[in-house]
Amino acid sequence: MSANEEAARHREVRNAWALSAPALILLLVAAIGPLFIMLVYSFLTPGQYGNVEWKFSWDAWIGTLYSRDIFDGTLKLADAHLTIFWRSVKLSLLTTIITFIVGFPTAWFIATRSPRSRALWLFLITIPFWTNLLIRTFAINEIIRNEGLINSVLMWMGVIDQPINMIYTDTAVFVGMTYVYLPLMVLPLFASIDRFDMRLLEAGYDLYASRWQVLRRVIVPIVRPGIVAGSILVFIPALGAYVTPRILGGGKNMMIGNFIELQFGQGRNWPLGAALSVLLLIVVTIALMFYVRASTKGTNNG
Amino acid sequence: MTTDVAVEARNAVKAFGQGETAVRALDDVSIQIRKAEFFTLLGPSGCGKTTLLRLIAGFETPTSGQILLDGKDITNDPPNKRPVNTVFQSYALFPHLSVAQNIAFGLEMLGRPRAEITKTVERMLALVKLEAMAGRKTSQLSGGQQQRVALARALAPQPKVLLLDEPLSALDYKLRKEMQLELKRLQTETGITFIFVTHDQEEALTMSDRIAVMSAGHIQQIGGPREIYTRPVNRFVADFIGETNFLSGEAGEGRVTLASGDVVQVEGAEGRKGKVTVVIRPEQVRLAEAGAAETIPATVESLVYFGTDTHCHLRLKDGTEMVARLQSPASGEAGLQQGQSVGLRFAPGAARVLED
Ligand SMILES: Nc1ncnc2c1ncn2[C@@H]1O[C@H](COP(=O)(O)OP(=O)(O)OP(=O)(O)O)[C@@H](O)[C@H]1O
Ligand SMILES: [Mg+2]
């Protein structure tokens, strides 16, 4: 009897592994493989025309934060690098915060509609995914550049007589990223608000909580998994964003993604590019660990 | 007299929707609920019990009319400004908080000092006998325990009035009986006005000081359980509360001639003329030998055994059906027989006349 059960369980486990084997192999080859190559490359010496020389060196890792003086060879903090890191983190955080502030009421609005109109609103939210990111970003470019829609209209109306310079600034990058990542904030927020029991609002009001207190003490703690998931889904891709800062930030307002690309392209410093990639990965992993902790804290079942 | 009143509704009307499709959930309801009273709203589904409760709690504003608390007009106060708490039918406990934190919530929102909150929470936990569960998540409690947390949470801020919307309907029979006693005990101990909603008439009769019987947005009758049961003012109340025999007849000369042709003396028949309905509770019907003096002849249709009681289904000469509830005879004793002819009479003062 129990031996039979044991055998059945073993068979089940074996089947489960067999079924997931293709996915596991794909993950191993396509994700872990390149990561491993990156890690190895970050400890090698740059080749003259790109690529790497198989000679061990710490230089790439030192180079992520320091630059070597051309004349006396002393190490100095690389201000340019720090500016890029800081801009990446700042813009990503800002994007996360603004998409949350805009996305929360949006998600709330959708979750409180009737089931039929809800489907329509969700559909509208996902429409941007139907178009290529590049095209969407160029569309924003078209709107905010000096000869673009906003400036033309304002000048035509006579509100301004010089175009406002918006393109190729941090603000442009930030606006673009907010637009691109907003759905990634709204969808997980919607999912958790949808599960929120609206009767708890009345319980809160009944127990003398003001609207603000109901929001802070009842709604936010209960939909927190959605907030954390949305923030992570926005923050992580924003941190490694490439297309948006490239098109809306021009060459000057680089973020980490562009900086890494530069090393593999014109910079011809593949090990530095690899080291920067691994660094980015570490930051993202820390953010993910924070996510796991925050979303499981206090909810020990489900 | 007016200082006695905790909650008052004055001509409260609540309509949902507009124009043709509008539903009058409450239609001109006026009611006075006294301090420290266990008051029950009783009525069939959809009669507006919850709506009245929500008007008092402040979740809805009346279409017209007023709600008063301690003589003060609170019609337009939001729920968080009313010293009134609710025990929700679904309990609506906060899933992210422990039992103790749930109970403390209202006190925290009122900005009470920490020490006071701790003390009150402990007292409440003891009151509902959940001391051992203080640190648990509410999802780890049984239905009855959740019910008690909801009660403690609503009682902790010491509201002037506690509203309970069918709080026992989700519990099984035994737990329900237990909680009925518990609720009654809590109400007497705390001296808080309880407004209790139920559609279970037995529950209403056993627990309440006074009952309001509602139907279709109207209050039909307000009174103590005994009054409501023994002196229903109309057919709806008589039918809704307990089992009743309805006999149609003609009133005249202080007596009623039933459809069967039998003449009975009935309270309330004086000065009436024309078609009336006589109501008599099954337990007030007495059986005697067939042909005994001052009895109505009938035959026994069937007998249904209910433990202590036996329900005896009777048929009068004209085919009118009636039920008499009799104490079951001791075992072995030969009782009534099916098909037997009997005479029945009404217990003195028990039968009443209602207008149709
Ligand atoms: N928000 C609303 N919108 C429209 N109609 C409503 C609303 N709330 C209640 N009603 C209607 O008002 C009437 C009274 O409802 P209410 O909930 O007060 O009944 P109830 O006596 O509590 O019934 P139950 O015993 O089933 O809980 C019903 O006909 C109901 O359909
Ligand atoms: Mg109801």
Rounded to the nearest whole angstrom, what is the distance from the C-alpha of residue B257 to the centroid of ligand 1? 42
pLDDT at site B319: 78
Is the per-residue pLDDT at B336 higher than 80?
no
Please, which pLDDT band fits residue A220 given cuts at 50, 70 and 90? very high
Lowest mean pLDDT, pick from B119-123, B126-130, B329-333, B337-341? B329-333
Query: How far away is chain B from the Cα of A36, in angstroms, using its nearest Cα?
Result: 41
B54 pocket-lining for ligand 1 (C-beta < 6 Å): no
What average pLDDT does the segment B49-55 reach? 92
Atom of ligand 1 nearest to the CA of B199: 25
How does the average pLDDT of chain A come out, rounded?
A: 88
CA of A200 to the centre of ligand 2 (A): 17
Inter-chain touch B80–A209, beta carbons under 8 Å: yes
Contact check, Cβ <8 Å, A298/B96: yes
Q: What integer is the mean pLDDT of A116-137?
A: 89
- Give the best residue of A192, A195, A196, A207 to mutate against chain B (max B CB count within 10 A): A207
Give me the pLDDT at residue A302, please.
Answer: 35
pLDDT (tens digit per residue) in A80-91: 888 999 999 999
Token pair in block for residue B58: 């402040």
- Which atom of ligand 1 lies nearest, measured to the CA of B26? 14
Q: Does ligand 1 lie within 6 Å of residue B14's CB atom? A: no
Minimum mean pLDDT range among A145-149, A178-182, B202-206, B334-338: B334-338
Please tell me the least confidently modeled range out of A161-175, B78-92, B164-178: B164-178
Chain A residues with CB inside 8 Å of B85's CB?
Answer: 206-207
Question: Which pLDDT value is given to residue A1?
Answer: 54
CA atoms of B194 and B192, how far apart (whole Å): 6
H-only helix segments in B128-255? 143-155, 173-190, 201-207, 225-230, 235-240
Cα–Cα distance, A255 to A173 (Å, whole number): 10
Q: How confident is the model at residue A112 (pLDDT cuts 50, 70, 90)?
A: very high
pLDDT-derived band at A271, boundaries 50, 70, 90: very high
Q: Is the pLDDT of residue A270 over 80?
A: yes
Give the integer Cα–Cα distance in Å for B201 and B88.
20
Cα angle B9-B15-B16, degrees, rounded to a multiple of 5: 135
Per-residue pLDDT for A298 more than 60?
no
How many whole angstroms separate alpha carbon B48 and alpha carbon B63? 14
Which pLDDT does position A300 carry in this prediction? 41
Least confident of A120-134, A241-255, B149-163, B284-298: B284-298
Higher pLDDT pick, B265 / B201: B201
Question: Residue A108: is its pLDDT beyond 90?
Answer: yes
Mean pLDDT of the B188-216 span: 90
Mutate which of B26, B41, B49, B215 for ligand 1? The one with the most ligand atoms within 8 Å of its CB, which is: B49
Please give the radius of gyration of chain A, using alpha carbons only, rounded to the nearest integer. 25
CA of B196 to the centre of ligand 2 (A): 11
Q: What is the pLDDT of residue A212?
A: 93
pLDDT at A297: 63
Kindly report, as residue ranges, where domains of CATH 3.40.50.300 are found in chain B. Answer: 5-236
Phi-psi region of B258 (alpha: psi -120 to 50; beta: other; left: phi over 0): beta
User: pLDDT value at position B330?
Assistant: 63
Question: What is the per-residue pLDDT for B195?
Answer: 94
Q: By the 8 A CB rule, do B198 and B163 touch?
A: no
Q: Give the list of residues 6+ apart from residue B345 with CB closer than 8 angstroms, or none.
A: B285, B286, B288, B294, B295, B296
Please give the average per-residue pLDDT across B130-153, as a whole number: 89
Please check whether residue B82 is in contact with residue B58, taking contact to mean a CB–CB distance below 8 angstroms.
Answer: yes
Reported as a pLDDT band with limits 50, 70 and 90, residue B334 is low
Q: Can you tell me the distance from the alpha carbon of A65 to that of A50, in angstroms, rounded to the nearest whole number?
A: 21
Enumerate residues 6+ apart whose C-beta is below 8 A from A301: B137, B139, B140
Residue B228's φ and ψ, nearest 5 degrees, are -60, -40
Binding-face residues of A in 166-225 toward B, CB within 8 A:
197, 199-200, 202-210, 213, 217-218, 221-222
The pLDDT assigned to B238 comes to: 87
Q: How far apart are the CA of A85 and the nearest CA of chain B, in angstroms?
A: 37
**A32-44 residue pLDDT tens:** 888 999 999 999 9
Q: Which atom of ligand 1 is nearest to the CA of B14?
A: 12
Residue with the smallest CA separation from ligand 1 atom 16 is B48
Averaged over B150-177, what is the pLDDT? 87
Whether residue A79 has pLDDT greater than 90: no
**Residue B273: per-residue pLDDT:** 77
A79: Cα within 13 Å, side-chain hemisphere = 1
Written as one string, the DSSP assignment of chain A is -HHHHHHHHHHHHHHHHHHHHHHHHHHIIIIIHHHHHHHHHTTSEEPTTSSEES---SHHHHHHHEEE-TTT--EEE-HHHHHHHHHHHHHHHHHHHHHHHHHHHHHHHHHTS-HHHHHHHHHHHHGGGGS-HHHHHHHHHHHHSTTSHHHHHHHHHTS-SS----TTSHHHHHHHHHHHHHHHHHHHHHHHHHHS-THHHHHHHHTT--HHHHIIIIIHHHHHHHHHHHHHHHHHHHHT--HHHHHHSTTTS--HHHHHHHHHTTT--HHHHHHHHHHHHHHHHHHHHHHHHHHHTT----
Q: Give pLDDT tens digits for B9-25.
A: 888 888 888 877 788 88
Give the SS3 label for residue B246: strand
Residues with CB under 5 A from ligand 2 (ion): B 50
Lowest mean pLDDT among A60-74, A238-252, B56-70, B286-300: B286-300
CATH of domain B5-236: 3.40.50.300
Mean pLDDT, rounded, for A251-269? 88
Task: Please enumerate in sequence order all residues whose Cβ is within 8 A of that of B293, keeping only pairs 6 or more positions apart, or say none.
Answer: none
- pLDDT at position B331: 55
Asked whether the predicted pLDDT for residue A301 surpasses 60, the reply is no
Which three-class secondary structure state does DSSP give residue B180?
A: helix
Interface membership of B106 toward A (CB under 8 Å)? yes
| Phi–psi pair at A86, nearest 5 degrees | -60, -40
Give the whole-angstrom CA distance, residue B58 versus residue B87.
Answer: 14
AA letter at A280: L
Q: In ligand 1, which atom is closest to the CA atom of B51?
A: 18
Determine the Cα–Cα distance for residues B275 and A133; give it in Å rounded to an integer: 83
**Ligand that comes closest to the CA of residue B165:** 2
Fold that domain B243-353 belongs to in CATH: OB fold (Dihydrolipoamide Acetyltransferase, E2P) (2.40.50)
Name, of A106-115, A158-167, B128-137, B222-231, the range with top average pLDDT: A106-115
Cα A53 from Cα B94, distance rounded (Å): 61
pLDDT (0 to 100) of residue A223: 93
Which H or E element spans position B198?
A: strand B193-198
CB of B58 shorter than 6 A to ligand 1? no
Beta-carbon count within 10 A of A83 CB: 12
Identify the band that residue B332 occupies on the pLDDT scale cut at 50, 70 and 90.
very low
Pairing verdict, β B38-42 and B64-69: unpaired
Residues of chain B above pLDDT 70, percent: 97
Q: Amino acid identity, residue B304? A: V
Q: At residue B328, does pLDDT exceed 80?
A: no
Residue B18, C-beta contacts closer than 8 angstroms, at least 6 positions apart? none
CA distance A4 to A1: 5
- Give the pLDDT band of residue B186 (cuts 50, 70, 90): confident
Distance CA B193, CA B163 (A): 9
Q: Which residues of B touch A192 (CB under 8 A)?
A: none
